[in-house]
Structure 1
Amino acid sequence: MQKSIQNDDWTIEIYPKSKLLDLNLKEVWRYRDLIALFVRRDFVAVYKQTIFGPLWFFIQPILTTIMFMVVFGGIAKMSTDGMPKALFYLSGIVLWNYFSTALSRTSTTFVNNKGVFGKVYFPRMATPISLIVSKLLTFGVQFGLFLVVFAYFYFFTEAPIRPNAMVLFVPVLIIITAGLALGLGLIITSLTTKYRDFTFLLAFAIQLGMYATPIIYPASSVSGKMKMIIMANPMSPIIETFRYAFLGVGNFSWVALAYSTIVMIVLIFIGVITFNKVEKNFMDTV
């Protein structure tokens, strides 16, 4: 009897994880259909019972841009490096929205999915990955809005817009942004299984982080130690490079981009370790 069991061809084999730094991408790929279902659920369900539905993908960045134009561009008279206010603010909002929403959702992976994790087996890493992908779809919609506004000012106005070859580097900027959100989200979701305070701290940190990122102002408008603090934010070089690619303004630097990439790699490294460690016994504490 024991021999026949050993000779069976199993379709799925589940092993206890012994390595903390183990993405187990082969198993994640095997569950790609489940990831696709998670992506669809997250993308469709968000605005399913709302009046405006998917229009909220456009309404949110438009209203935010208008508010920035009135408060920071009109009242505070903050510089936009000579660019049209709507285009300048929107170029920062679309990337920051992707980072902040992806981070917020991945940071609650264990807490929000404890019911599913406690009943059904699948690679837990599939959940945060699906959230990153679903928010990437949202980013795609809002990026399309940015391209429409960009085309209007480029072709129908005399705004000094100077797009360049760095536009081809934009997919890399998106990947770095996704990596930063994923790595930091894995760390925070691992910590929130024991310390729920991080949920409240994260909401505050995201709001504060927006002002520490050159979204409502150009990095060229600050100098000295303040500029060093702002550029220490790994999202700052990404926003500045994005603006440089499409608008021709911004502090573009390969060194700064390399810094953001290194921070992303370190965060993913730490995030995977903490996620895999907490995954083994989080049901006892969540």
Structure 2
Amino acid sequence: MNHTEPASTIPATNKEWTEVIEPKTNLLDLRLGDVWRYRDLVMMFVRRDFVSTYKQTILGPLWFFIQPLLTTITFIIVFGQVARLSTDGLPQVVFYLAGVTVWSYFAATLTTVSTVFVANAAIFGKVYFPRLTMPVSIVISNMVRFLIQFGLFLVIWLFYVVRGGTTIQPNWVIALTPVLLIIMGLMSLGLGMIFSALTTKYRDLAMLLTFGIQLLMYATPVIYPLSSITGEIKGISYKTIILANPMSAIVETFRYGFLGSGAFNWSYLGYSAAFTVAILIIGTIIFNKVEKSFTDTV
């Protein structure tokens, strides 16, 4: 008579685990290797973002083009025609569309990442996967949206370049566009992780952030060129205050490369890059600390 050995007597050394889940001990550890192994999940989240955003809409993906165009037209009417703000002699549609294209990516990514814990608490509480996959997927999905809207900008920009008769003078700084995109993505990721940790306890911060981003746009040369800023307050020039915003150098560099008008300076761009690295480190520490216990708070 054969007897089967109880499972409890099987030596532990014979058990092979395919996945070991344990708490992080290093707050700076993003476990990017785990994110890479779950890359299929990241792409699934990216696809989900597209489907959920435009599902049951009549125009669907056309909103990628309608939103920046409507915003640009509004800026032309309000700031270009009524307020008569300077565009450094550039065609208003290209000037405003350049700023809208860059700013929209940063604002949309930061806003969405900031609510990643609260918005996905049900998923996080049911199954394990690297939590970083969610904010990374948001950065990627918004990057795809940026590329689509960037294509719209290129079409209008090429129209004015080929037609001639304008002050548009493209230059080599165009090659820095991928660098600008990476800086914006990482900056919004770092800031978003900080706010996502805070919104698990203080839900009001999500609404405050949305309002704050709208105000921050006016502190960024999106609707006006940096060259038009004059004056000072208590010995500090307004231009210095605007440049303290790390997004200012990115918008100005983007415009300078494609339009030939703007403020390009390596020190300005270096400041934006340094700020991004610092905020990404801080965001990583806070994100890793909060993700262990956020389900108890949410």
Aligned-pair CA distance for 1:2: 6.3
Cα distance per residue 1:70-103 (max 9 Å; x no partner): 1100011110011000000000000100000000
The letter for the 2-side match of 1:211 is Y
1:280 is paired with a residue whose SS is coil
Q: Which position in structure 1 is the counterpart of 2:219?
A: 212
> How far did 1:258 drift?
0.5
**How much has 1:167 moved relative to structure 2?**
0.8
Which residues of 2 match residues 1-286 of structure 1 at below 5 A? Answer: 1=8, 4-223=11-230, 224=232, 225-286=237-298
- TM-score, length basis structure 2: 0.94
Q: Percent identity?
A: 55
In 2, Cα distance between the equivalents of 1:17 and 1:3? 30
Aligned residues: 286
Tell me the CA shift for residue 8 of structure 1.
2.7
Q: Could you tell me whether the CA contact under 8 Å between 1:43 and 1:135 is conserved in 2?
A: no
Aligned CA distance change for structure 1 residues 2 and 174 (closer, same or farther; 3 Å):
farther
Cα gap change, 1:159/1:191 in structure 2, threshold over 3 Å: closer, same or farther? same
Q: Deviations over 1:156-205 (max 9, x none)?
A: 13111111111111100000000110000000000001111211110111
- Of the structure 1 ranges 3-12 and 62-71, higher mean CA displacement relative to structure 2 is found in 3-12
Q: CA-to-partner distance for each residue in 1:42-79, whole Å, 9 max, x for gaps?
A: 02220111111101000000000001101100011110
Q: How many angstroms does 1:275 deviate by?
A: 0.6
Amino acid at match of 1:162: Q
Q: Which amino acid aligns with 1:266?
A: A
Name the Cα RMSD after superposition.
Answer: 1.0
Counterpart CA distance in 2 for 1:4 and 1:137 is: 51
Aligned residue identity for 1:108: T
Cα displacement (A) at 1:16: 1.5
Stretches of structure 1 that go unaligned for 5 or more consecutive residues are: none
Unaligned stretches of 5+ residues in structure 2? 1-7
SS of the residue corresponding to residue 46 of structure 1 reads helix
Query: Which segment drifts farther, 149-158 or 90-99?
Result: 149-158
Note the alpha carbon deviations across 1:96-132, whole angstroms, 9 max, x for none: 0000000010000100010000000000000000000
> TM-score when scaled to structure 1?
0.98
